Amino acid sequence: MSRTERPGAGSAGPSTRPSARPTVEDVAARAGVSRGTVSRVVNGSPKVSAKAREAVESAVADLGYTPNQAARSLVTSRSDVIALVVPEGFERLRSEPYFADVIAGISDELASTDLQLLLTLVRTERERERLARYLTARRVDGLILASVRQGDPLPDQLERLGLPTVLGGRRSERETLSYVHGDNAGGARSAARHLAARGRTAVATITGPLDMEAAVARLAGYREALAEAGLTPEEALVAHGDFTEAGGYAAMRRLLAETPALDAVFCASDLTAVGALLALREAGRRVPEDVAVVGFDDSVIARSTEPPLTSVRQPTQSMGRLMARILIEEIAEPGRPRRQVTLPTELTVRASS
Alpha carbons 123 and 70: distance in angstroms, whole number: 33
Query: Does the structure show a pLDDT above 80 at 302?
Result: yes
Query: Does the structure show a pLDDT above 90 at 263?
Result: yes
**For residue 47, what pLDDT is reported?**
75
Alpha carbons 248 and 252: distance in angstroms, whole number: 6
Q: Are 178 and 339 in contact (CB under 8 A)?
A: yes
Lowest mean pLDDT among 81-85, 104-108, 174-178, 332-336: 332-336
Lowest mean pLDDT among 38-52, 90-104, 190-204, 211-225: 38-52
Q: Are 294 and 317 in contact (CB under 8 A)?
A: no
Q: What is the pLDDT of residues 151-164, one digit of tens each?
A: 888 898 888 888 99
Comparing 307 with 138, the larger pLDDT belongs to 307
Residue 286 amino acid letter: R
Kindly state the average pLDDT of the residues 297-302. 95
Three-class HEC string of the chain? CCCCCCCCCCCCCHHHCCCCCCCHHHHHHHHCCCHHHHHHHHCCCCCCCHHHHHHHHHHHHHHCCCCCHHHHHHHHCCCCEEEEEECCCHHHHHHCHHHHHHHHHHHHHHCCCCCEEEEEECCCHHHHHHHHHHHHCCCCCEEEECCCCCCCCHHHHHHHHCCCEEEECCCCCCCCCEEEEECHHHHHHHHHHHHHHCCCCCEEEECCCCCCHHHHHHHHHHHHHHHHCCCCCCHHHEECCCCCHHHHHHHHHHHHHHCCCCCEEEECCHHHHHHHHHHHHHCCCCCCCCCEEEEEECCHHHHCCCCCCEEEECCHHHHHHHHHHHHHHHHHCCCCCCCEEEECCEEECCCCC
Q: What is the pLDDT of residues 66-101, one digit of tens each?
A: 765 544 444 445 778 999 999 887 888 888 889 999
Q: Which residues lie closer than 8 Å to 321 by C-beta, 6 or more apart?
A: 105, 106, 108, 109
Nearest to 313 by CA among 343, 348, 342, 341: 348
Alpha carbons 276 and 306: distance in angstroms, whole number: 12
First-to-last CA distance in the chain?
97
Q: What is the pLDDT of residues 20-65, one digit of tens each?
A: 678 888 889 999 999 888 878 876 677 788 888 889 888 888 888 7
Q: Are 161 and 136 in contact (CB under 8 A)?
A: yes
Q: Which residues lie closer than 8 Å to 248 by C-beta, 6 or more apart?
A: 206, 241, 267, 269, 271, 272, 273, 274, 275, 276, 279
Alpha carbons 264 and 212: distance in angstroms, whole number: 24
- Structural domains present in the chain: 18-76 (1.10.260.40), 81-182+316-344 (3.40.50.2300), 184-313 (3.40.50.2300)
Query: Does the structure show a pLDDT above 90 at 266?
Result: yes
